[in-house]
Protein backbone atom coordinates (compact mmCIF):
# COMPACT_ATOMS: atom_id res chain seq x y z
CA UNK A 1 0.00 0.00 0.00
CA UNK A 2 1.37 3.47 -0.82
CA UNK A 3 2.57 5.53 2.12
CA UNK A 4 -0.25 7.86 3.16
CA UNK A 5 0.65 11.48 2.54
CA UNK A 6 -1.23 14.65 1.75
CA UNK A 7 -0.89 17.71 -0.44
CA UNK A 8 -2.44 21.18 -0.44
CA UNK A 9 -5.66 21.18 -2.44
CA UNK A 10 -7.19 24.66 -2.23
CA UNK A 11 -10.34 25.15 -4.28
CA UNK A 12 -9.56 27.12 -7.45
CA UNK A 13 -11.97 28.66 -9.93
CA UNK A 14 -11.63 28.47 -13.68
CA UNK A 15 -10.92 25.73 -16.20
CA UNK A 16 -7.94 24.60 -18.22
CA UNK A 17 -7.79 26.63 -21.45
CA UNK A 18 -8.49 24.71 -24.66
CA UNK A 19 -4.87 24.94 -25.88
CA UNK A 20 -3.65 23.34 -22.64
CA UNK A 21 -6.37 20.70 -22.42
CA UNK A 22 -5.54 19.51 -25.93
CA UNK A 23 -1.91 19.05 -24.94
CA UNK A 24 -2.84 17.41 -21.63
CA UNK A 25 -4.82 14.76 -23.48
CA UNK A 26 -1.91 14.07 -25.85
CA UNK A 27 0.67 13.94 -23.04
CA UNK A 28 -1.56 11.73 -20.85
CA UNK A 29 -1.96 9.32 -23.76
CA UNK A 30 1.77 9.24 -24.46
CA UNK A 31 2.85 8.76 -20.83
CA UNK A 32 0.09 6.23 -20.17
CA UNK A 33 0.99 4.21 -23.25
CA UNK A 34 4.65 3.98 -22.20
CA UNK A 35 3.69 2.83 -18.69
CA UNK A 36 1.22 0.26 -20.00
CA UNK A 37 3.72 -1.05 -22.54
CA UNK A 38 6.46 -1.33 -19.92
CA UNK A 39 4.51 -2.57 -16.90
CA UNK A 40 0.93 -3.37 -17.96
CA UNK A 41 -2.39 -1.58 -17.44
CA UNK A 42 -2.77 -2.65 -13.78
CA UNK A 43 0.41 -0.71 -12.97
CA UNK A 44 -1.19 2.43 -14.35
CA UNK A 45 -4.09 1.99 -11.90
CA UNK A 46 -1.61 1.45 -9.06
CA UNK A 47 0.15 4.69 -9.87
CA UNK A 48 -3.07 6.66 -10.14
CA UNK A 49 -4.02 5.40 -6.66
CA UNK A 50 -0.78 6.84 -5.23
CA UNK A 51 -1.50 10.49 -4.33
CA UNK A 52 2.09 11.63 -4.85
CA UNK A 53 2.35 10.05 -8.28
CA UNK A 54 -1.06 11.45 -9.22
CA UNK A 55 0.02 14.95 -8.15
CA UNK A 56 3.28 14.64 -10.09
CA UNK A 57 1.37 13.40 -13.14
CA UNK A 58 -0.79 16.53 -12.98
CA UNK A 59 2.31 18.71 -12.79
CA UNK A 60 3.86 17.04 -15.85
CA UNK A 61 0.61 17.61 -17.73
CA UNK A 62 0.93 21.30 -16.89
CA UNK A 63 -1.92 21.84 -14.46
CA UNK A 64 -1.60 23.80 -11.20
CA UNK A 65 0.51 21.82 -8.80
CA UNK A 66 -1.51 22.82 -5.73
CA UNK A 67 -5.04 23.21 -7.12
CA UNK A 68 -8.12 21.08 -6.48
CA UNK A 69 -8.65 21.20 -10.25
CA UNK A 70 -5.71 18.86 -10.79
CA UNK A 71 -8.06 15.98 -9.89
CA UNK A 72 -10.91 16.80 -12.24
CA UNK A 73 -8.80 18.03 -15.14
CA UNK A 74 -6.21 15.24 -15.11
CA UNK A 75 -8.90 12.57 -15.02
CA UNK A 76 -10.86 14.29 -17.78
CA UNK A 77 -7.71 14.34 -19.92
CA UNK A 78 -6.99 10.69 -19.14
CA UNK A 79 -10.58 9.70 -19.96
CA UNK A 80 -10.36 11.42 -23.34
CA UNK A 81 -6.93 9.85 -23.95
CA UNK A 82 -8.39 6.39 -23.27
CA UNK A 83 -11.23 7.07 -25.69
CA UNK A 84 -8.82 8.12 -28.44
CA UNK A 85 -6.18 5.45 -27.90
CA UNK A 86 -8.14 2.49 -29.34
CA UNK A 87 -7.42 0.40 -26.21
CA UNK A 88 -3.65 1.06 -26.28
CA UNK A 89 -3.92 2.26 -22.67
CA UNK A 90 -5.73 -0.91 -21.63
CA UNK A 91 -7.89 0.81 -18.99
CA UNK A 92 -11.39 2.26 -18.86
CA UNK A 93 -12.27 5.54 -17.13
CA UNK A 94 -15.93 6.09 -16.20
CA UNK A 95 -17.63 9.03 -14.49
CA UNK A 96 -16.29 12.50 -13.88
CA UNK A 97 -17.51 15.73 -12.35
CA UNK A 98 -21.10 16.53 -11.34
CA UNK A 99 -23.63 15.00 -13.73
CA UNK A 100 -20.97 12.71 -15.21
CA UNK A 101 -20.40 11.16 -11.78
CA UNK A 102 -24.07 10.25 -11.52
CA UNK A 103 -23.89 8.50 -14.90
CA UNK A 104 -21.05 6.20 -13.81
CA UNK A 105 -23.23 3.06 -13.40
CA UNK A 106 -24.70 3.29 -16.90
CA UNK A 107 -21.23 3.97 -18.35
CA UNK A 108 -19.85 0.86 -16.63
CA UNK A 109 -22.78 -1.24 -17.84
CA UNK A 110 -22.44 0.00 -21.43
CA UNK A 111 -18.71 -0.78 -21.54
CA UNK A 112 -19.15 -4.20 -19.92
CA UNK A 113 -21.62 -5.16 -22.63
CA UNK A 114 -18.70 -4.86 -25.05
CA UNK A 115 -15.93 -6.32 -22.87
CA UNK A 116 -17.89 -9.10 -21.16
CA UNK A 117 -16.82 -7.96 -17.67
CA UNK A 118 -19.21 -8.41 -14.70
CA UNK A 119 -21.02 -5.08 -14.73
CA UNK A 120 -23.00 -5.51 -11.52
CA UNK A 121 -19.97 -6.19 -9.31
CA UNK A 122 -18.12 -3.17 -10.76
CA UNK A 123 -21.19 -0.96 -10.33
CA UNK A 124 -21.45 -2.17 -6.72
CA UNK A 125 -17.79 -1.24 -6.12
CA UNK A 126 -18.33 2.21 -7.62
CA UNK A 127 -21.48 2.82 -5.59
CA UNK A 128 -19.97 1.59 -2.31
CA UNK A 129 -16.84 3.73 -2.70
CA UNK A 130 -19.05 6.78 -3.18
CA UNK A 131 -21.30 5.76 -0.25
CA UNK A 132 -18.34 5.29 2.10
CA UNK A 133 -16.86 8.71 1.35
CA UNK A 134 -20.20 10.53 1.45
CA UNK A 135 -21.96 8.79 4.37
CA UNK A 136 -19.65 6.47 6.33
CA UNK A 137 -16.84 9.05 6.47
CA UNK A 138 -18.45 12.30 7.59
CA UNK A 139 -15.63 14.84 7.33
CA UNK A 140 -17.55 17.88 5.99
CA UNK A 141 -16.40 17.29 2.39
CA UNK A 142 -19.26 16.80 -0.08
CA UNK A 143 -18.44 14.58 -3.05
CA UNK A 144 -18.76 16.26 -6.44
CA UNK A 145 -16.36 14.17 -8.54
CA UNK A 146 -16.21 10.39 -8.97
CA UNK A 147 -14.10 8.41 -11.45
CA UNK A 148 -14.15 4.63 -11.61
CA UNK A 149 -11.26 2.99 -13.49
CA UNK A 150 -10.84 -0.69 -14.35
CA UNK A 151 -8.86 -3.04 -16.55
CA UNK A 152 -11.12 -5.10 -18.87
CA UNK A 153 -10.65 -8.80 -18.32
CA UNK A 154 -8.98 -8.40 -14.92
CA UNK A 155 -10.56 -8.09 -11.44
CA UNK A 156 -8.73 -4.85 -10.63
CA UNK A 157 -10.35 -1.45 -10.26
CA UNK A 158 -9.54 1.94 -8.80
CA UNK A 159 -11.54 4.97 -7.72
CA UNK A 160 -10.42 8.59 -7.56
CA UNK A 161 -13.06 10.91 -6.16
CA UNK A 162 -13.05 14.35 -4.63
CA UNK A 163 -15.16 16.31 -2.16
CA UNK A 164 -15.20 19.98 -1.27
CA UNK A 165 -15.71 22.03 1.87
CA UNK A 166 -16.81 25.42 0.45
CA UNK A 167 -16.58 27.12 3.85
CA UNK A 168 -12.87 26.35 4.25
CA UNK A 169 -12.31 26.48 0.47
CA UNK A 170 -10.41 23.21 0.47
CA UNK A 171 -10.90 19.93 -1.35
CA UNK A 172 -10.18 16.36 -0.31
CA UNK A 173 -9.25 13.57 -2.71
CA UNK A 174 -9.96 9.90 -1.95
CA UNK A 175 -7.95 7.15 -3.66
CA UNK A 176 -9.10 3.51 -3.80
CA UNK A 177 -7.37 0.44 -5.27
CA UNK A 178 -9.04 -2.97 -5.09
CA UNK A 179 -5.68 -4.78 -4.80
CA UNK A 180 -4.90 -3.22 -1.40
CA UNK A 181 -8.43 -2.85 -0.04
CA UNK A 182 -9.10 -5.23 2.89
CA UNK A 183 -12.86 -4.51 2.74
CA UNK A 184 -15.29 -1.73 1.94
CA UNK A 185 -15.83 -0.97 5.62
CA UNK A 186 -12.43 -1.25 7.34
CA UNK A 187 -9.74 1.23 6.30
CA UNK A 188 -10.59 0.76 2.59
CA UNK A 189 -8.64 3.69 1.11
CA UNK A 190 -5.30 3.49 -0.63
CA UNK A 191 -4.90 7.14 0.42
CA UNK A 192 -6.90 10.22 1.40
CA UNK A 193 -5.34 13.52 0.36
CA UNK A 194 -6.08 16.80 2.11
CA UNK A 195 -4.11 19.55 3.81
CA UNK A 196 -6.72 20.23 6.49
CA UNK A 197 -7.56 17.57 9.08
CA UNK A 198 -10.83 17.93 10.95
CA UNK A 199 -11.66 17.45 14.63
CA UNK A 200 -15.37 16.71 14.12
CA UNK A 201 -15.12 13.63 11.90
CA UNK A 202 -17.29 10.53 12.22
CA UNK A 203 -15.31 7.67 10.66
CA UNK A 204 -17.43 4.53 10.52
CA UNK A 205 -14.89 2.68 8.35
CA UNK A 206 -11.87 3.12 10.64
CA UNK A 207 -10.03 -0.13 11.29
CA UNK A 208 -10.36 0.27 15.05
CA UNK A 209 -14.14 0.81 14.87
CA UNK A 210 -15.17 -2.82 14.23
CA UNK A 211 -16.91 -3.14 17.60
CA UNK A 212 -18.85 0.04 16.89
CA UNK A 213 -19.89 -1.24 13.45
CA UNK A 214 -21.11 -4.49 14.99
CA UNK A 215 -23.08 -2.62 17.65
CA UNK A 216 -24.55 -0.25 15.08
CA UNK A 217 -25.66 -3.13 12.86
CA UNK A 218 -27.13 -5.10 15.76
CA UNK A 219 -29.00 -1.98 16.85
CA UNK A 220 -30.45 -1.53 13.35
CA UNK A 221 -32.17 -4.92 13.68
CA UNK A 222 -33.88 -4.08 16.99
CA UNK A 223 -37.55 -3.15 17.12
CA UNK A 224 -37.95 0.67 17.09
CA UNK A 225 -40.27 0.72 20.12
CA UNK A 226 -37.70 -1.09 22.27
CA UNK A 227 -34.93 1.32 21.31
CA UNK A 228 -37.09 4.40 21.75
CA UNK A 229 -37.97 3.29 25.29
CA UNK A 230 -34.23 3.16 26.05
CA UNK A 231 -33.65 6.60 24.53
CA UNK A 232 -36.49 8.15 26.55
CA UNK A 233 -35.07 6.67 29.76
CA UNK A 234 -31.69 8.24 29.06
CA UNK A 235 -33.20 11.62 28.29
CA UNK A 236 -35.53 11.59 31.30
CA UNK A 237 -32.77 10.70 33.75
CA UNK A 238 -30.72 13.69 32.65
CA UNK A 239 -27.61 11.85 33.81
CA UNK A 240 -24.21 12.31 32.22
CA UNK A 241 -24.32 10.26 29.03
CA UNK A 242 -21.40 8.06 27.93
CA UNK A 243 -18.65 9.91 26.05
CA UNK A 244 -20.23 13.34 26.70
CA UNK A 245 -18.07 15.46 29.03
CA UNK A 246 -19.85 17.20 31.92
CA UNK A 247 -19.31 20.59 30.31
CA UNK A 248 -21.94 19.65 27.73
CA UNK A 249 -24.73 19.86 30.32
CA UNK A 250 -26.71 23.10 30.15
CA UNK A 251 -26.14 25.42 33.09
CA UNK A 252 -29.77 25.16 34.24
CA UNK A 253 -29.65 21.36 34.28
CA UNK A 254 -32.70 21.04 32.05
CA UNK A 255 -31.08 19.31 29.11
CA UNK A 256 -27.97 18.58 27.12
CA UNK A 257 -25.88 20.66 24.80
CA UNK A 258 -24.42 18.10 22.45
CA UNK A 259 -20.82 18.37 21.21
CA UNK A 260 -20.02 19.65 17.74
CA UNK A 261 -18.16 16.45 16.82
CA UNK A 262 -19.43 14.64 13.74
CA UNK A 263 -22.13 17.29 13.29
CA UNK A 264 -24.65 16.05 15.85
CA UNK A 265 -27.72 18.07 16.66
CA UNK A 266 -30.53 17.63 19.20
CA UNK A 267 -32.60 16.12 16.38
CA UNK A 268 -30.33 13.08 16.54
CA UNK A 269 -31.83 12.24 19.93
CA UNK A 270 -35.39 13.30 19.12
CA UNK A 271 -37.62 10.18 19.41
CA UNK A 272 -39.89 11.31 16.56
CA UNK A 273 -36.96 11.73 14.15
CA UNK A 274 -35.34 8.53 15.32
CA UNK A 275 -38.45 6.47 14.74
CA UNK A 276 -38.36 7.13 10.97
CA UNK A 277 -34.75 5.97 10.78
CA UNK A 278 -35.31 2.92 12.96
CA UNK A 279 -38.33 1.76 10.99
CA UNK A 280 -36.25 1.77 7.79
CA UNK A 281 -33.39 -0.19 9.30
CA UNK A 282 -35.65 -2.64 11.17
CA UNK A 283 -37.38 -3.59 7.92
CA UNK A 284 -34.04 -4.40 6.28
CA UNK A 285 -32.55 -6.60 9.04
CA UNK A 286 -29.01 -6.13 7.73
CA UNK A 287 -26.69 -8.99 8.69
CA UNK A 288 -23.53 -6.86 8.57
CA UNK A 289 -22.53 -3.22 8.35
CA UNK A 290 -21.67 -3.34 4.65
CA UNK A 291 -25.21 -4.46 3.84
CA UNK A 292 -26.66 -1.67 5.99
CA UNK A 293 -24.39 0.93 4.37
CA UNK A 294 -25.34 -0.27 0.90
CA UNK A 295 -29.07 0.33 1.39
CA UNK A 296 -30.52 3.01 -0.90
CA UNK A 297 -32.17 5.22 1.74
CA UNK A 298 -29.55 4.97 4.48
CA UNK A 299 -27.53 8.16 4.24
CA UNK A 300 -25.32 10.32 6.41
CA UNK A 301 -28.07 11.58 8.75
CA UNK A 302 -29.44 8.08 9.44
CA UNK A 303 -25.94 6.73 10.14
CA UNK A 304 -25.22 9.62 12.54
CA UNK A 305 -28.30 8.77 14.57
CA UNK A 306 -27.54 5.05 14.63
CA UNK A 307 -23.92 5.74 15.55
CA UNK A 308 -24.96 7.88 18.49
CA UNK A 309 -27.38 5.20 19.70
CA UNK A 310 -24.65 2.56 19.45
CA UNK A 311 -22.48 4.72 21.71
CA UNK A 312 -25.24 5.39 24.22
CA UNK A 313 -26.84 1.96 24.45
CA UNK A 314 -24.02 -0.47 23.65
CA UNK A 315 -21.18 1.58 25.14
CA UNK A 316 -19.29 1.17 21.85
CA UNK A 317 -17.50 4.42 20.96
CA UNK A 318 -17.17 5.47 17.32
CA UNK A 319 -13.86 6.47 15.75
CA UNK A 320 -13.23 10.16 15.13
CA UNK A 321 -9.91 9.58 13.40
CA UNK A 322 -9.70 11.71 10.27
CA UNK A 323 -8.77 9.30 7.43
CA UNK A 324 -6.63 11.95 5.72
CA UNK A 325 -2.95 11.41 6.30
CA UNK A 326 -0.69 14.42 6.51
CA UNK A 327 1.74 15.77 4.51
CA UNK A 328 2.76 15.82 0.64
CA UNK A 329 8.08 20.29 -15.23
CA UNK A 330 6.13 21.96 -17.57
CA UNK A 331 4.82 24.87 -15.54
CA UNK A 332 1.22 25.56 -14.56
CA UNK A 333 -1.73 27.20 -16.29
CA UNK A 334 -1.80 30.05 -13.74
CA UNK A 335 1.92 30.68 -14.15
CA UNK A 336 2.96 28.71 -11.05
CA UNK A 337 5.68 27.73 -10.52
CA UNK A 338 6.22 29.24 -13.99
CA UNK A 339 4.16 29.61 -17.21
CA UNK A 340 3.67 26.55 -19.40
CA UNK A 341 6.39 26.29 -22.03
CA UNK A 342 4.24 25.34 -25.03
CA UNK A 343 7.15 24.63 -27.38
CA UNK A 344 8.85 22.32 -24.86
CA UNK A 345 5.51 20.65 -24.09
CA UNK A 346 4.88 19.88 -27.79
CA UNK A 347 8.44 18.63 -28.32
CA UNK A 348 8.12 16.23 -25.38
CA UNK A 349 4.82 14.88 -26.71
CA UNK A 350 6.49 14.19 -30.05
CA UNK A 351 9.48 12.51 -28.34
CA UNK A 352 7.21 10.19 -26.39
CA UNK A 353 5.24 9.35 -29.52
CA UNK A 354 8.45 8.53 -31.40
CA UNK A 355 9.63 6.28 -28.55
CA UNK A 356 6.28 4.47 -28.56
CA UNK A 357 6.38 3.94 -32.34
CA UNK A 358 9.98 2.73 -32.19
CA UNK A 359 9.07 0.29 -29.42
CA UNK A 360 6.16 -1.02 -31.47
CA UNK A 361 8.50 -2.02 -34.30
CA UNK A 362 10.95 -3.71 -31.96
CA UNK A 363 13.52 -0.97 -31.33
CA UNK A 364 13.66 -1.28 -27.53
CA UNK A 365 16.92 0.64 -27.23
CA UNK A 366 15.12 3.97 -27.03
CA UNK A 367 12.95 2.77 -24.16
CA UNK A 368 16.04 1.35 -22.44
CA UNK A 369 17.56 4.82 -22.69
CA UNK A 370 14.39 6.32 -21.22
CA UNK A 371 14.55 3.87 -18.30
CA UNK A 372 18.20 4.70 -17.75
CA UNK A 373 17.41 8.40 -17.79
CA UNK A 374 14.63 7.88 -15.23
CA UNK A 375 16.98 5.90 -12.96
CA UNK A 376 19.67 8.57 -13.26
CA UNK A 377 17.17 11.35 -12.50
CA UNK A 378 15.94 9.51 -9.44
CA UNK A 379 19.50 8.91 -8.21
CA UNK A 380 20.42 12.55 -8.80
CA UNK A 381 17.33 13.69 -6.93
CA UNK A 382 18.20 11.51 -3.94
CA UNK A 383 21.79 12.70 -3.99
CA UNK A 384 20.74 16.34 -3.99
What is the model's pLDDT at position 94?
A: 97
Is 9 in contact with 67 (CB distance < 8 Å)?
Answer: yes
Q: Give the residue from 213, 206, 221, 216 showing the smallest Cα distance to 305.
A: 216
Mean pLDDT, to the nearest integer, of 16-22?
A: 78
- Rounded to an integer, what distance in angstroms lies between the CA atom of residue 184 and that of residue 176? 10
pLDDT tens digit sequence for 192-219: 877 667 667 899 999 999 999 999 999 9
Residue 60 confidence (pLDDT) above 70: yes
What is the model's pLDDT at position 90?
A: 93
DSSP 39-96: H-HHHHHHHHTSHHHHHHHHHHHTS-TT-THHHHHHHHHHHHHHHHTTTSS--EEEEE
Q: What is this structure's pTM? A: 0.73
pLDDT tens digit sequence for 348-382: 566 666 655 655 545 554 556 556 556 555 554 45
Q: Give the residue from 94, 173, 95, 114 showing the smallest Cα distance to 139.
A: 173
**Exposed / middle / buried, residue 76 (Cβ in 10 Å: 0-12, 13-18, 19+):** buried
Q: What separation in angstroms does the CA of 234 have from each of 12, 56, 154, 300, 352?
A: 47, 53, 52, 24, 68
What is the model's pLDDT at position 7?
A: 42
Is 166 in contact with 269 (CB distance < 8 Å)?
Answer: no
Residue 2 confidence (pLDDT) above 90: no
Is 35 in contact with 151 (CB distance < 8 Å)?
Answer: no
Is 137 in contact with 304 (CB distance < 8 Å)?
Answer: no
Helix axes 365-383, 342-360, angle to 10 degrees: 130
- Rounded to an integer, what distance in angstroms lies between the CA atom of residue 299 and that of residue 307? 12
Secondary element (H or E) of residue 163? strand 157-165
pLDDT tens digit sequence for 153-181: 999 999 999 988 878 777 888 999 999 89
Residue 76 CB contacts under 8 Å (≥ 6 apart), including other chains: 21, 96, 97
Question: Would you call the peptide bond into 337 cis, given omega within 30 degrees of 0 as the criterion?
Answer: yes
* β-bridge mates for residue 165, sequence order: 170
What is the model's pLDDT at position 246?
A: 35
Amino acid sequence: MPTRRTADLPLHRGEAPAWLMKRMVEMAEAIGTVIVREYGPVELLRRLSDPFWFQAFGCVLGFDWHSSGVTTTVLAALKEACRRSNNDLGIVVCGGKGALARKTPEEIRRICEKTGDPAESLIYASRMAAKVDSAAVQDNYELYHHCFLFVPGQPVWAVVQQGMDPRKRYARRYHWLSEVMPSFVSDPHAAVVCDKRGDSVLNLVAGEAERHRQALTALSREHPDKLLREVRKLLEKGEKLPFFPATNRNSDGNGLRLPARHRLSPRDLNPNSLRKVLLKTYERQASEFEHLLGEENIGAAALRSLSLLAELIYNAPASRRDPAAYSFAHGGKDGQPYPVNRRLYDENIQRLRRWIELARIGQEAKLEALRALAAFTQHAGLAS
